[in-house]
C-alpha cells in the first residue's frame, strides 16, 4: 500500500473519539445526532454499539470513518487526527482507503462483480499489487470456493462474508461495521459476527460494530449503548 | 476500466438496448451522409470535376441559376486573363436543354460549352474528347438513359443534332441533370437561336455574330491565390471560388441545408439519448457508487471509469451501425442519389461519438456529487 497514507503506527489505540458533537438537519428539523461522545477502541478490540433507530449509531460510524466532520471534538484513527486532513474529500478518501475498512448492511456488494473481483477492485482502487490474489482472504472467510460467484448467486450470509473479506483487503487498522446481521437469520447472524470477532483478533483490527441484534453481543469485548446521541455503557 | 468492462458484460441487456439505439442513429447518419453526398454529386459533380479555381459571373448576377443567367463579354475574359496569379481564363457557356435520343427517349442535358483543347476539355473514359462541332461528351451516368457512343441527340424546338462521341470519367451532373460538354462555337449557335436543324456546320459558326459566354473559368498559377476583388473591379464581374459556385446549382443550397439540419438534429438526439441513458444508469447505481466512494474510491476514478464505459458503448455500436449503414447503402437502387464517401461518414461518426460522450459526461459528472455517507444504512 505504498501509494496510500497507511499509518504504520505502534499505537494500540485504533479509534479515539473525544467530546464529539454533531448536529444534522436544518431549522426546526435540526437534531443533535452526537452529543459529547467519547470512545476509545484498541487494536484487536471488538466493540458493539446498540441502540434504537435514530439514536445516532450511523452518525458515529460516519464521523469515525472520516465520512462526516463533527461540529466539535477530536477524532483520531490510528493516532492520526482526522481534523488535520482538512475538508478535502480526496485526502479523506485516501485516508479511508489506507486505514479504514467498512462492512455495510447486507454486504452491499457490486452486482456486476464476482466475489473475487469485489476484492480485486478494492485492491486496484488502493493501488495494490498487480498480481493480487483474493483467494487467501476468501478462504479465510470460508468462501474460497465461491470466488467466481456474483452477489446474486450468494446467500445473505455469504454476501456479508465477502463484504468482510473486501473490508480487509487493504489491511486496515480500523474496521467499521454497519448492521451486519440486518438481513440474516439467527444462525447466520451468529456465524457472521463470530467471523468478524475472529478476523478482529487475527488481524489486530480495532472493530466497531453497530447493531440492533442483541443475540450476537456475546462475541464482543465491550458493548455500548447509544441513545439520543449519547454513548454509555450497556447494561 | 476494471469496473466498466464487467458492468458492460453484466448488464449486457440494458447496454445492448442502448447500443441498438446508438447503432440505429449511426445507420441513419450513414444514410443521410450518403444522401447528402449523392445529392451534392447530382447537383454539382459537373463543377467539382472541373480543374477550376474560381468562376467569374457578370457583375450583379443573381446567385441562383447564375450559370445560365450570366453573360460575359470577350473584354471581360481578357481583363481576367491579364490579372496577376491567373494561369488560365477561359469562357464557359452554360444552359439546360430538353432533347431526344435517336430512339425517341426524352433526355435533359446541362450544357457545358468549352473551347476544345483548353484546360476545361473533359477527360473521357470512353470515346473521344471534344473536337468536331457536333460532337458532345456526356456524363457517364447518361448510360442509364440508353445513350451510347454514336447516339445522336436532337435538341427540342431547334432540331439541332449532336452526336455523343465520348463519356466523362465518372459522374458529371449539374442541377441533377447529366452534363453534356460541347464546343463553345456550337453552344453559341444554340444560345443565340441561330442553330439550324441537323448537325451544326462551320459555315453557320462563321456567319454568327455572337461572341459572348456565360462565365469565365479561372485557374490560378500553382502556389498563388487570385485576388478576386481586384479582378472583379477590372473585369466588372462577380467572382466566386469553385466551392461557392456550387450555390449556383438549382436547388443545391436548399437541399444541402435541409439535410444538414436533419443531421444536426440527429447529433442532438444522440447526445440527449446517450445522456439520458447514463443519467438513469448513474441514478440506478448511486448506492453502489456511494459504497465505492465510502471505501475510498475517488470521484475522478469513478467518472473516468463511467466515461470509458460510454466510450466503449459509443465506439462499438457506432461502428456496428456504420457497417450496417454501408451495407444498406450498397444495396440502394441505381437511380437514387446516394454516394458512400469515407470522409463524411468518418466525420459524422466522430461527431456522433463526441456528442454522445459529452451527453454521457454531463450525466456521469453527478458521481462527483454523490455523498459517500449515503452508503451507511441509516443514512439511506
* Predicted confidence (pLDDT) at residue B378 exceeds the cutoff of 50: no
Mean pLDDT (whole number) for B292-314: 89
Nearest CA to CA, how far is B6 from chain A (Å)? 6
* Predicted confidence (pLDDT) at residue B379 exceeds the cutoff of 50: no
Mean pLDDT (whole number) for B369-376: 83
- The rounded mean pLDDT for chain A is 87
Q: Summarize pLDDT for A131-173 with one digit per residue, the tens.
A: 899 999 999 888 889 999 999 999 888 998 899 899 989 889 9
Looking at chain B, which residue has its C-alpha nearest residue A169?
Answer: B295
Q: Summarize pLDDT for B342-353 with one digit per residue, the tens.
A: 998 899 889 889
User: Model confidence at B184, in pLDDT bands (50, 70, 90)?
Assistant: very high
A88 touches chain B (CB under 8 A): no
Nearest CA to CA, how far is B283 from chain A (Å)? 15
* Predicted confidence (pLDDT) at residue B332 exceeds the cutoff of 80: yes
- Which residues, at least 6 apart from B377, have a Cβ–Cβ distance to it below 8 Å? A58, A104, A105, A178, A179, A182
A116 touches chain B (CB under 8 A): no
Mean pLDDT (whole number) for A60-66: 92
The whole-angstrom separation of Cα A88 and Cα B9 is: 34
User: Model confidence at A2, in pLDDT bands (50, 70, 90)?
Assistant: very low
Nearest CA to CA, how far is A21 from chain B (Å)? 17
Which three three-digit cell numbers place residue B74?
A: 470577350
* Whether A113 and B3 lie within 8 Å, measured CB to CB: yes
Nearest alpha-carbon partner for B6 in A150, A103, A158, A135: A150
* Predicted confidence (pLDDT) at residue B49 exceeds the cutoff of 60: yes
* Whether B376 and A122 lie within 8 Å, measured CB to CB: no
B7: which chain A residues are within 8 Å (Cβ-Cβ)?
112
Q: Tell me the residue ranges of DSSP E strands in A146-211.
A: 174-178, 206-211
Mean pLDDT (whole number) for A50-78: 90
A58 touches chain B (CB under 8 A): yes
- Rounded to the nearest 5°, which phi and psi values hold at B174? -145, 125
B378 touches chain A (CB under 8 A): yes
User: Model confidence at A3, in pLDDT bands (50, 70, 90)?
Assistant: very low
User: Model confidence at A5, in pLDDT bands (50, 70, 90)?
Assistant: low
Does B263 or B110 have the greater pLDDT score?
B110
The whole-angstrom separation of Cα A159 and Cα A157 is: 5
- Rounded to the nearest 5°, which phi and psi values hold at A111? -55, -30
Which three three-digit cell numbers place residue B116?
A: 476544345
Name the most confidently modeled range: B35-44, B56-65, B190-199: B190-199
The whole-angstrom separation of Cα B219 and Cα B246 is: 17
Mean pLDDT (whole number) for B121-143: 93
Which three three-digit cell numbers place residue B161?
A: 443534332
Burial of A32 (0-12, 13-18, 19+ CB in 10 A): middle
* Predicted confidence (pLDDT) at residue B270 exceeds the cutoff of 70: yes
B210 touches chain A (CB under 8 A): no
* Predicted confidence (pLDDT) at residue A4 exceeds the cutoff of 70: no
Nearest alpha-carbon partner for A173 in A62, A38, A7, A5: A7
A57 touches chain B (CB under 8 A): yes
- Rounded to the nearest 5°, which phi and psi values hold at A142? 80, 25
* Whether A67 and B9 lie within 8 Å, measured CB to CB: no
User: Model confidence at B380, in pLDDT bands (50, 70, 90)?
Assistant: very low
Mean pLDDT (whole number) for B195-218: 92
Best residue in B8, B285, B294 for a mutation probing chain A (most A CBs within 10 Å)? B294
* Predicted confidence (pLDDT) at residue B189 exceeds the cutoff of 60: yes
pLDDT for the residue B120:
93
The whole-angstrom separation of Cα A212 and Cα A189 is: 11
* Predicted confidence (pLDDT) at residue B63 exceeds the cutoff of 80: no
Best residue in B281, B303, B372, B378 for a mutation probing chain A (most A CBs within 10 Å)? B378
Nearest alpha-carbon partner for B139 in B240, B33, B253, B50: B50
Q: What kind and span of H or E run contains A90?
A: helix A89-99
Amino acid at each position: 500500500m505504498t501509494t496510500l497514507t497507511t499509518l504504520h503506527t505502534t499505537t494500540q489505540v485504533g479509534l479515539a473519539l473525544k467530546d464529539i458533537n454533531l448536529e444534522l438537519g436544518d431549522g426546526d428539523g435540526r437534531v443533535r445526532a452526537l452529543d459529547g461522545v467519547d470512545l476509545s477502541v484498541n487494536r484487536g478490540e471488538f466493540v458493539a454499539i446498540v441502540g434504537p433507530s435514530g439514536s445516532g449509531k450511523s452518525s458515529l460510524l460516519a464521523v469515525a470513518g472520516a465520512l462526516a466532520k463533527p461540529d466539535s471534538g477530536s477524532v483520531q484513527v490510528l493516532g492520526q487526527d482526522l481534523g488535520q486532513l482538512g475538508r478535502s474529500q480526496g485526502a479523506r478518501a485516501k485516508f479511508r482507503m489506507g486505514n479504514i475498512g467498512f462492512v455495510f448492511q447486507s454486504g452491499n456488494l457490486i452486482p456486476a462483480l464476482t466475489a473475487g473481483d469485489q476484492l480485486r477492485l478494492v485492491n486496484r482502487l488502493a493501488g495494490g499489487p498487480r498480481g493480487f490474489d483474493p483467494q487467501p482472504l476468501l478462504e479465510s472467510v470460508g468462501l474460497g470456493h465461491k470466488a467466481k460467484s456474483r452477489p446474486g448467486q450468494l446467500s445473505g450470509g455469504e454476501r456479508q462474508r465477502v463484504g468482510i473479506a473486501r473490508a480487509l483487503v487493504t489491511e486496515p487498522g480500523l474496521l467499521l461495521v454497519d448492521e451486519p446481521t440486518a438481513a440474516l437469520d439467527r444462525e447466520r447472524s451468529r456465524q457472521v459476527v463470530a467471523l468478524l470477532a475472529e478476523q478482529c483478533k487475527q488481524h489486530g483490527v480495532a472493530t466497531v460494530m453497530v447493531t440492533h441484534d442483541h443475540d450476537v453481543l456475546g462475541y464482543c469485548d465491550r458493548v455500548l449503548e447509544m441513545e439520543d446521541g449519547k454513548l454509555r455503557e450497556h447494561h | 476500466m476494471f469496473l466498466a468492462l464487467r458492468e458492460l458484460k453484466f448488464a449486457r441487456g440494458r447496454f445492448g438496448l442502448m447500443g441498438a439505439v446508438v447503432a440505429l442513429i449511426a445507420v441513419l447518419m450513414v444514410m443521410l451522409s450518403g444522401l447528402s453526398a449523392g445529392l451534392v454529386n447530382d447537383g454539382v459533380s459537373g463543377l467539382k470535376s472541373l480543374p477550376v479555381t474560381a468562376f467569374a459571373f457578370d457583375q450583379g448576377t443573381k446567385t441562383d441559376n447564375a450559370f445560365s443567367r450570366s453573360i460575359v463579354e470577350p473584354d471581360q475574359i481578357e481583363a481576367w486573363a491579364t490579372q496577376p496569379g491567373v494561369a488560365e481564363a477561359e469562357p464557359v457557356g452554360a444552359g439546360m436543354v430538353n432533347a431526344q435520343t435517336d430512339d425517341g427517349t426524352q433526355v435533359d442535358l446541362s450544357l457545358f460549352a468549352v473551347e476544345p483543347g483548353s484546360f476545361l476539355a473533359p477527360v473521357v473514359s470512353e470515346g473521344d474528347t471534344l473536337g468536331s462541332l457536333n460532337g458532345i461528351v456526356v456524363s457517364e451516368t447518361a448510360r442509364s438513359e440508353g445513350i451510347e457512343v454514336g447516339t445522336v441527340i436532337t435538341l427540342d424546338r431547334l432540331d439541332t443534332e449532336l452526336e455523343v462521341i465520348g463519356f466523362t470519367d465518372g459522374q458529371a451532373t449539374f442541377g441533377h441533370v447529366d452534363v453534356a460538354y460541347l464546343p463553345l462555337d456550337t453552344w453559341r449557335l444554340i444560345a443565340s437561336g441561330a442553330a439550324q436543324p441537323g448537325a451544326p456546320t462551320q459555315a453557320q459558326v462563321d456567319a454568327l455574330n455572337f461572341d459572348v459566354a456565360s462565365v469565365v473559368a479561372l485557374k490560378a498559377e500553382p502556389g498563388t491565390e487570385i485576388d478576386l476583388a481586384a479582378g472583379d473591379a477590372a473585369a466588372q464581374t462577380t467572382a466566386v471560388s469553385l466551392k461557392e459556385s456550387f450555390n449556383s446549382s438549382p436547388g443545391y443550397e436548399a437541399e444541402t441545408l435541409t439535410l444538414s439540419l436533419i443531421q444536426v438534429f440527429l447529433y442532438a438526439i444522440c447526445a440527449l439519448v446517450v445522456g439520458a441513458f447514463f443519467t438513469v444508469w448513474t441514478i440506478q447505481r448511486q448506492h453502489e457508487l456511494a459504497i465505492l466512494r465510502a471505501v475510498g474510491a475517488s470521484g475522478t476514478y469513478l467518472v473516468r471509469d463511467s466515461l470509458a464505459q460510454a466510450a466503449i458503448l459509443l465506439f462499438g455500436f457506432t461502428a456496428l451501425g456504420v457497417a450496417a449503414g454501408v451495407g444498406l447503402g450498397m444495396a440502394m437502387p441505381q437511380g437514387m442519389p446516394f454516394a458512400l464517401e469515407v470522409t463524411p461518414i468518418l466525420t459524422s461518426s466522430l461527431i456522433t461519438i463526441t456528442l454522445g460522450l459529452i451527453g454521457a459526461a454531463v450525466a456521469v459528472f453527478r458521481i462527483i456529487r454523490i455523498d459517500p455517507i449515503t452508503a451507511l444504512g441509516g443514512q439511506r
